[in-house]
């Protein structure tokens, strides 16, 4: 199957001319101040459509066409580059990469000696000129031959020192960008200044770099990707830099005190084979969602200077390097509406309704807006063009409005004055608003969650039966279930003796669930099933959990200084419910766990655990001894055996349990070299822990 990328189809010369104008205007806006009418993916599709039309209709090609030009021919600059600063051509999949590499080797007449593989940073190319070790000038790429002087930004860029380690004269090339943290800080400063925010980190970096006068300073980041001597320089350093492999040049750059990706999870490597190149592409793609900065692809280039020289250059791009583009995780779409929902804990959460947009392999219609403070911070309005972000398995989120695309027809988002579920008052004292009735507002939702298979697992309690009990006043929360009598249940409509006895048996069995299941049933804010297991294993008893202060709670993996006080406050609020559970005789201990000794930060559960410190992912339909286990029960099994259950495959994954119809996760694991086992092999590996899990179920 071809991995050719999607493109904008142009019907005729008129559509082609309009597309050319749109592409040029969009590029001009982007290179002027970081704004654009198109997101990166839409722009790339448009340019590919223009290129395809020109290939079929060479007689119609316009001189203003962006194809074959650096920065689409739209960038301006009056400072000449000593060596042209070209763009890179793109490939969009393994098949195209193989074809490109074969073309390079045909040009050389021999195999490439070694490949360099590095992340393609999502920022702006920049040239930093050093004179005798001191940073003297910053130049944008411009049209590749000349760029704009942005030396006014010197001193605001992390990773680009004022002085190098050695007093050398050299030109360093790299990427200017904003990290996620810098972007949030920049948006906060702009919001405080004029009530608007930046659309995304890339446009924020572009606008910030070119702005000479602004009442606030936004920090930027530099990552170097090359070093060039002046063409007329005949010094020993210049000779060395011209002859060294790219990988060794980058080692020298880092040694000068300049930031490179060497210290990041996506550090550049040298690969001797194209198979290893493909592996590294997969590794970088897998790590992408976890990075604190944006990448939009992987750069593959000949590592040896001799190979680069022989392969040569085209008018727009070097022939010895290519950009392997990754699927877009960010696009622009319309914010159509905002829905307000009250969750089972009483938290009121807004959800964005979007004009459907394809993002990172799926169609996105809804996205999280977090809370009212988040909406206010970002200055969102109904009808806004908004940047929507998604990476890996992360729920899509609205990043920011694209302010320069506003038409004047946008409307304020109506903020609810009462709880959208029950109509009672709202507690707005915290950032996450909550119905003043708390869990009782959505009591039915709380109880449905508590009795579910992955919590108490009480069979025979459907939503209509729970509503029947609530309406009859038999229960107010799930703890009341353990006090129900046979006579009370028989008095309900359509409850016969058999169904009553079966339900009472199921309720009695629920008392014996491990503490991790009981804690999960409480629905403590800031925790879920996985976190409930960690808390239960750490403290071993409910008494120990309830006695813990915020500092002690923080010792549980994944519970930091922000979440810990919330958990403590929640447990205080839930105290009457927990007391009822204790009174009913519900189990309050975690099998196999030992309470931490005084002053002890972590708990070692058991010895020589088979999955100790391993990140394990389960995919596909389980078979054999694991066939009866739900996905949550599989996760419980993994964590009891010492591992960490994860939902996505990454370079950190140690083991993939692949059942029938494993699909894309298995393919990704194979690409990353992750160990893959069958359900039967995994069952044998965890042995006694499996017997414990099936006993609980």
- Chain segment 465-505, per-residue pLDDT in tens: 999 999 899 999 999 999 999 999 999 988 999 999 999 99
DSSP state of 594: -
CATH placement of domain 439-510: 1.10.150.20
Least confident of 1-10, 89-98, 561-570, 626-635: 1-10
CA distance linking residue 64 with residue 87, whole number of Å: 18
Percentage of residues of the chain with pLDDT beyond 90: 48
CATH placement of domain 515-583: 1.10.150.20
For domain 330-427, the CATH architecture is Beta Barrel (2.40)
Q: What is the DSSP string of 415-475?
A: PPSS-TTT---EE-SSSS-EETTGGGGGHHHHHHHHTSTTTT--TT--HHHHHHHHHTTS-
CA distance linking residue 440 with residue 445, whole number of Å: 9
pLDDT band, residue 306 (cuts 50/70/90): very high
Q: Is the pLDDT of residue 598 over 70?
A: no
Across the range 215-231, mean pLDDT stands at: 92
Q: Is the pLDDT of residue 589 over 90?
A: yes
The token duo for 486 is 């046979």
pLDDT score for 602: 43
**For residues 474, 477, 478 and 482, what is the CA-based torsion angle, rounded to 10 degrees?**
-40
Q: Is the pLDDT of residue 362 over 70?
A: yes
CA distance linking residue 162 with residue 663, whole number of Å: 50
The token duo for 327 is 């699927």
pLDDT band, residue 604 (cuts 50/70/90): very low
- Name the segment(s) of the chain with CATH classification 1.10.287: 13-73
**For residues 256, 260, 264 and 269, what is the CA-based torsion angle, rounded to 10 degrees?**
-100
CATH placement of domain 79-325: 3.30.470.30
Least confident of 40-49, 87-96, 132-141, 678-687: 40-49
Question: Pick the residue with more confidence: 429 or 76?
Answer: 429
- Name the segment(s) of the chain with CATH classification 1.10.150.20: 439-510, 515-583
Across the range 628-634, mean pLDDT stands at: 85
- Name the segment(s) of the chain with CATH classification 3.30.470.30: 79-325
Which segment, 4-18, 67-81, 210-224, 235-249, is predicted with the most confidence on average? 235-249
Nearest CA to 545 among 554, 536, 533? 536
Query: Catalytic: 120?
Result: yes
Do residues 233 and 171 make contact, with C-beta atoms less than 8 angstroms apart?
no
Across the range 448-477, mean pLDDT stands at: 91
Residue in the structure block whose two tokens are 């089972």: 344
pLDDT score for 597: 65
pLDDT band, residue 359 (cuts 50/70/90): confident
Arithmetic mean of pLDDT over the chain:
88
Residues forming a β-bridge with 297: 120, 325
Least confident of 142-151, 190-199, 604-613: 604-613
Residue in the structure block whose two tokens are 């409509």: 493
- Type and span of the H or E element at 568: helix 563-573
Q: Return the half-sphere exposure (C-beta side, CA atoms, 13 A cut-off) of residue 674.
A: 29
Q: From residue 528, how far is each of 162, 250, 310 by CA, in Å?
A: 48, 44, 57
Burial of 264 (0-12, 13-18, 19+ CB in 10 A): middle
Across the range 75-80, mean pLDDT stands at: 78
CA distance linking residue 330 with residue 336, whole number of Å: 18
Hey, how many other C-beta atoms are within 10 angstroms of the C-beta on 9?
10
For domain 13-73, the CATH architecture is Orthogonal Bundle (1.10)
CA distance linking residue 158 with residue 363, whole number of Å: 36
Question: Pick the residue with more confidence: 400 or 165?
Answer: 165
pLDDT band, residue 670 (cuts 50/70/90): confident
Q: Is the pLDDT of residue 534 over 60?
A: yes
Nearest CA to 434 among 416, 446, 450? 416
Across the range 678-695, mean pLDDT stands at: 76
CA distance linking residue 225 with residue 300, whole number of Å: 12
Q: What is the largest CA-CA distance in the chain?
A: 99
Which segment, 76-85, 186-195, 457-466, is predicted with the most confidence on average? 457-466
What separation, in Å, do the N-terminal and C-terminal C-alpha atoms of the chain show?
Answer: 44
Residue in the structure block whose two tokens are 């040049």: 249
Residue in the structure block whose two tokens are 């629905």: 523
Do residues 419 and 426 make contact, with C-beta atoms less than 8 angstroms apart?
yes
- Type and span of the H or E element at 91: strand 90-91
Convert the pLDDT of each residue in 242-284 to its tens digit: 999 999 999 999 999 999 999 898 999 999 999 999 999 988 9
CA distance linking residue 87 with residue 68, whole number of Å: 10
Residue in the structure block whose two tokens are 């001189």: 63
pLDDT band, residue 226 (cuts 50/70/90): very high
Q: Is the pLDDT of residue 605 over 50?
A: no
Percentage of residues of the chain with pLDDT beyond 70: 94
Q: Is the pLDDT of residue 601 over 50?
A: no
- Cα 638 to its chain centre, rounded Å, is 24
Q: Is the pLDDT of residue 2 over 60?
A: no
CATH number of 615-696: 3.40.50.10190, 3.20.20.60, 3.40.190.10, 2.40.340.10?
3.40.50.10190
- Type and span of the H or E element at 364: strand 362-368
């Amino acid at each position: 199957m071809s991995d050719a990328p999607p493109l904008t189809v142009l019907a005729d010369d008129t559509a082609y001319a309009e597309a050319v104008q749109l592409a040029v205007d969009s590029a001009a806006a982007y290179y002027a101040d970081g704004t654009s009418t198109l997101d990166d993916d839409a722009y790339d599709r448009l340019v590919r459509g223009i290129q395809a039309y020109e290939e079929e209709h060479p007689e119609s090609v316009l001189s203003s066409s962006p194809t074959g030009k650096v920065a689409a021919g739209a960038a301006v600059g009056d400072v000449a580059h000593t060596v042209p600063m070209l763009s890179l051509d793109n490939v969009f999949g393994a098949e195209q990469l193989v074809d490109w590499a074969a073309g390079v080797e045909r040009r050389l007449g021999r195999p490439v000696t070694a490949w360099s593989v590095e992340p393609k940073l999502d920022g702006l190319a920049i040239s930093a000129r050093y004179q005798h070790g001191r940073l003297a000038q910053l130049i944008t790429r411009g049209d590749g031959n000349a760029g704009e002087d942005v030396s006014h930004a010197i001193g605001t860029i992390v990773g680009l020192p004022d002085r190098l380690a050695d007093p050398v004269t050299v030109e360093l090339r790299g990427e200017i960008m904003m990290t996620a943290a810098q972007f949030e800080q920049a948006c906060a400063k702009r919001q405080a200044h004029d009530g608007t925010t930046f659309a995304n980190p890339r446009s924020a970096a572009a606008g910030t770099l070119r702005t000479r006068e602004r009442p606030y300073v936004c920090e930027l980041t530099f990552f170097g990707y090359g070093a060039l001597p002046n063409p007329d320089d005949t010094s020993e350093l210049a000779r060395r830099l011209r002859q060294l492999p790219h990988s060794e040049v980058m080692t020298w750059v880092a040694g000068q005190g300049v930031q490179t990706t060497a210290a990041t999870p996506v550090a550049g490597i040298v690969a001797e084979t194209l198979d290893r190149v493909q592996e590294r592409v997969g590794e970088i793609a897998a790590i992408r969602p976890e990075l604190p900065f944006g990448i939009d692809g992987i750069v593959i280039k000949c590592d040896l200077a001799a190979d680069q020289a022989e392969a040569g250059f085209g008018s727009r791009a070097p022939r010895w390097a290519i950009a392997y583009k990754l699927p877009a995780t960010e696009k622009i779409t319309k914010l159509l509406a905002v829905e307000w929902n009250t969750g089972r804990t009483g938290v009121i959460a807004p959800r964005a309704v979007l004009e459907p947009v394809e993002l990172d392999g799926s169609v996105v219609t809804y996205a999280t807006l977090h809370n009212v403070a988040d909406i206010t911070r970002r200055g969102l309005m109904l009808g806004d063009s908004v940047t929507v972000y998604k990476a890996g398995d992360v729920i899509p989120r609205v990043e920011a409005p694209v302010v320069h695309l506003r038409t004047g027809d946008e409307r304020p988002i109506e903020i609810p004055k009462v709880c959208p579920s029950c109509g009672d008052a709202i507690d707005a004292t915290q950032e996450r608003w909550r119905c003043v009735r708390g869990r009782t507002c959505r009591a039915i939702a709380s109880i449905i969650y508590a009795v579910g298979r992955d919590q108490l697992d009480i069979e025979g309690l459907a939503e209509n039966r729970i509503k029947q009990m609530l309406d009859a006043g038999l229960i107010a929360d799930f703890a009341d279930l353990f006090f129900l009598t046979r006579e009370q249940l028989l008095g309900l409509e359509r409850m016969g003796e058999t169904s009553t006895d079966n339900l009472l048996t199921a309720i009695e069995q629920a008392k014996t669930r491990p503490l991790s299941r009981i804690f999960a049933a409480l629905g403590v804010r800031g925790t879920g099933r996985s976190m409930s297991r960690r808390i239960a294993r750490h403290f071993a008893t409910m008494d120990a959990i309830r006695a813990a202060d915020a500092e002690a709670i923080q010792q549980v993996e994944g519970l930091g200084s922000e979440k810990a006080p919330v958990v403590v406050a929640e447990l205080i609020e839930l105290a009457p419910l927990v007391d009822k559970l204790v009174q009913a005789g519900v189990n309050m201990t975690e099998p196999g766990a030992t309470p931490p000794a005084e002053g002890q930060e972590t708990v070692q559960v058991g010895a020589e655990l088979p999955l100790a410190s391993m990140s394990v992912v389960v995919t596909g339909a389980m078979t054999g001894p694991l066939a009866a286990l739900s996905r949550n029960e599989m996760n419980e099994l993994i964590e009891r055996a010492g591992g960490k259950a994860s939902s996505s495959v990454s370079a950190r994954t140690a083991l993939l349990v692949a059942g029938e119809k494993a699909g894309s996760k298995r393919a990704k694991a194979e690409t990353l070299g992750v160990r893959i086992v069958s359900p039967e092999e995994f069952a044998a590996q965890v042995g006694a822990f499996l017997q414990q899990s099936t006993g609980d179920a």
